[in-house]
Amino acid sequence: MLLNELKAIQLADLFSALSDASRVRIISALLDTEMSVGVLAAKIKMSESAVSHQLRGLRQMRLIRGRRQGRQVFYYLADDHVARLFRMGLDHVEHG
pLDDT digits (tens, 9 = 90+) for 30-89: 999 999 999 999 999 999 999 999 999 999 999 999 999 999 999 999 999 999 999 999
Q: What does the pLDDT read at residue 89?
A: 94
The span from the CA of 19 to the CA of 21, in Å, is 7
Indicate the number of domains in the chain: 1
Of 1 and 58, the one with more pLDDT: 58
Kindly state the DSSP code that residue 73 receives in the 8-state scheme: E
Residue 58's nearest CA partner among 93, 96, 85, 39 is: 85
Q: What does the pLDDT read at residue 1?
A: 87
Which residue segment(s) compose the domain that 12 sits in? 5-95
51: domain CATH number is 1.10.10.10
Query: Each residue of 39-53: pLDDT tens digit?
Result: 999 999 999 999 999
